[in-house]
Amino acid sequence: MLSYLLRMAVKSLKRNPILSALIVCGIGLGIAVSTTFITTYHLMSSNPIPHKSDSLYYVEMDNWDPARGWNDDKPGAVPNQITYRDMIEIMKSNIPTHQGGSFKGSLYVYPPAQVARPFKVVARMCFSDFFALFDPPFQYGSIWPRSADKGPEQVIVLDYETNQKLFGGQDSVGKTVRVEDRDFVVAGVLKPWQPQPKYYDPHNGAFEKAEQIYLPFEFLRPWELHSAGNTSGWKNFGENFKEYLASEAVWIQMWVQLDSQKQKEAYRDFLNAYVNGQKKLGRMLRPTNNKLLPVMEWLKEEQVVPEEATSLMLISLLFLVVCALNLIGILLGKFLARAPEIGVRRALGASKRAIFLQHIFECEVVGILGGALGVLLSLLGLRAINTLFEINFRFHLDVKMVAAAAGLALVAGLIAGLYPAWRICSIQPAVYLKEQ
Amino acid sequence: MLEMKKLSKIYRTDTIETHALSEFDLEVKRGEFLAIMGPSGCGKTTFLNVTGLLDTFESGTYLLDGKDVSNLNDAEMSRIRNDKIGFIFQSFNLIPDLNVFDNVDVPLRYGRRSAQERKKAIEQVLETVGLRSRIKHYPSQLSGGQQQRVAIARALVNSPRLILADEPTGNLDSQMAGEIMDLLGQINQQGTTVIMVTHDPDLSARAARTVHLRDGRIVGLQPETRAPLHEQVNAPSNSEATC
């Protein structure tokens, strides 16, 4: 029966090819616009580390001004980074499977003169556990040992591009790279890695490039390195670097991996105890409000997906509905013009249900054709967005989005076809039999 | 085959009521060839539509094959139309973008036959109406007579017990009309009940019985019904119910 319905639908579309093309284009346009904006939303809001996003937690604590909260517009909000002193203290816990604070720094690399001129890089100052937390893939070598964090030892991990630039893409493990005034031994080289969004530190743009080099955190002291990202404070940062490190300035992103509920509860107790201890020392005088945010909640709190993307997606869906509603009139006219044929079919034994199904099927065929056209157009739309907006993010259609486009096309076909199909199946056949 | 008692059909508008059928009584026996005559607007087509379950009626009873059809739902009526009734129309009513095979296939598509059974039935019925060779032709490629033959094949393909023909020769010349009437006669001789609406007394003369309608009623007394054609040895002259 399906093949018969398909044949009838194709014959019907061929009967008036220009009108059929207009209907397909109507649906196609709606699908193209909605698929383009749903794809941008989908990719921006996608889970960057699905295999462990429920066990990675971003740590927040409220060290802010007792007289005035972190965000007047959001009661209960706490600073979205932590202080150096708090990071050092809470990293003494042995509860998390992995843990570590990190921050973004700006440094200079001095390659041999014959290789390249000195250049500025964005570095991630982090602990060995950073790699265990976020699983960046290694092309050569591996993470530096935990012991190297303490020295700190002069070890470095390069990203793929920096290794290309410095060593022509060769295995550079064991070779040295001069950063600022020190030589660092390459412990590992990453494969191309660009978490999207850059969830471990979205503060300066959730879709900015990942760092070019990774260095042990404690090199901040000899270099007196300040964060190249956001730093916020409610007190004076101090006269010198030592005071800066001991200040209430927040500039470190702290992550922990807690693999079980028990571990999570224990770590929460640990944080509460730590904050209570600080209160006794005259710090953290606001109500205790420690947060352990899983990856997706953290991204939601940081509003990684711009409100505009959400609005555009909703508007594009409305546009699709409007396209479908506009087609109701055209389909109604097309179907009613066929009333005499339907009268004959009814006389020959077709039930109302059979006639309804025949026409809904035709609308769904139109929907699928429109969907296919829409997917092609949305590829152009995404290419245009990639060209127009200079962000470090490539919007592309994936299988899920193609499936979503197909689903939307079927829904659009149904919206457009329900009323016309109902009207044509409800005609009084006797009236049209005599008219033919 | 069918029995109508005090059947009434009224068309209503905001200002007027038209009694298309009024206190209508009729009994048609299995295998009968009945002609319905009457002036325009007398209710002939309404009678065919009600008989063919394409239209409802206000009051009275209608038994088709002994079954009261007044309370059937759409699916049940469609099933009966598909199984038991074949329609032949004045303007053939073939679907223009379907070829002969597909046009005859339409009623079979609403039944439950396999593709093989359908193909066999279509070829057989087209053989009967002499159009086997035109199986791939479209209606526009056929003459009026051939189109009506296809329509008859379509009406017969499900082996219905009742054929309802609404002026089946109205759009044909006299030679073609004669051929179509011969075909209807053959169908009736094989035991199928035929009810035919016509304006033409010569055509009604081919029926075993003629009923005259006026203002939605049968007028005059119905004479004794002749034996169905297939039971007649020598066809006698036609008898009529007169106005």
Q: What is the pLDDT of residue A44?
A: 84
CA distance A134 to A49: 8
Q: Tell me: the pLDDT tens digits for B47-83? A: 999 999 998 888 899 999 888 998 899 999 999 999 9
Q: What is the pLDDT of residue B220?
A: 56
Cβ B153 vs Cβ B105: under 8 Å: no
**CA neighbours within 13 Å on the CB side: how many for A220?**
26
What is the percent of chain B with per-residue pLDDT over 70, rounded to a whole number? 90
Contacts of B103 (CB under 8 A, 6+ apart): B94, B95, B139, B150, B154
Question: What DSSP string describes A199-262?
Answer: TT--TT-TTSPPPSEEEEGGGHHHHTPPPSS--B-SS---SSHHHHHHSS-B-BEEEEE--SHH
CB contact under 8 A, B81 and A348: yes
Q: What interface predicted TM-score (ipTM) does this complex get?
A: 0.87
Q: Tell me: the pLDDT tens digits for A123-168? A: 999 999 999 999 999 999 999 999 999 989 999 999 999 999 999 9
Please tell me the least confidently modeled range out of A177-191, A268-282, B127-141, B215-229: B215-229
A429 closest CB neighbour out of B54, B75, B91: B54
Phi/psi of residue A267, nearest 5 degrees: -70, -35
Q: What is the pLDDT of residue A431?
A: 80
Percent helix, percent strand, percent coil in chain A, to nearest 5? 50, 15, 35
Nearest CA in chain A to B167: A434
Three-state secondary-structure class, residue B14: coil
CB contact under 8 A, A351 and B78: yes
CB contact under 8 A, A436 and B89: yes
Angle between helices A17-44 and A2-15 (to 10 degrees): 110
CA distance B60 to A299: 73
CB contact under 8 A, B54 and A15: no
When mean pLDDT is compared over A248-257, B3-12, B124-133, the highest value belongs to A248-257
Contacts of A379 (CB under 8 A, 6+ apart): A397
Largest CA distance in chain B: 54
Q: Tell me: the pLDDT tens digits for A333-366? A: 999 999 999 999 999 999 999 999 999 999 999 9
| Tokens of residue A119, six digits | 């250049």
**B chain contacts of residue A340, beta-carbon cutoff 8 Å:** 93
Q: Tell me: the pLDDT tens digits for B99-158? A: 999 999 999 999 888 999 999 999 999 998 888 899 999 999 999 889 988 999 999 899
pLDDT band at B217 (very low <50, low <70, confident <90, very high): confident
What is the percent of chain A with per-residue pLDDT over 90, rounded to a whole number? 80
Q: What's the mean pLDDT in B192-217?
A: 88
Nearest CA in chain A to B74: A351
CB contact under 8 A, A11 and B91: no
**CA nearest neighbour of A156 among A144, A164, A166:** A144
| Tokens of residue A279, six digits | 């209160």
Q: Tell me: the pLDDT tens digits for A56-114? A: 999 999 999 998 889 888 888 999 999 999 999 999 999 999 999 999 999 999 999 88
CA distance B11 to B8: 10
Is 80 exceeded by the pLDDT of residue B228?
Answer: no
Q: What is the pLDDT of residue B237?
A: 40
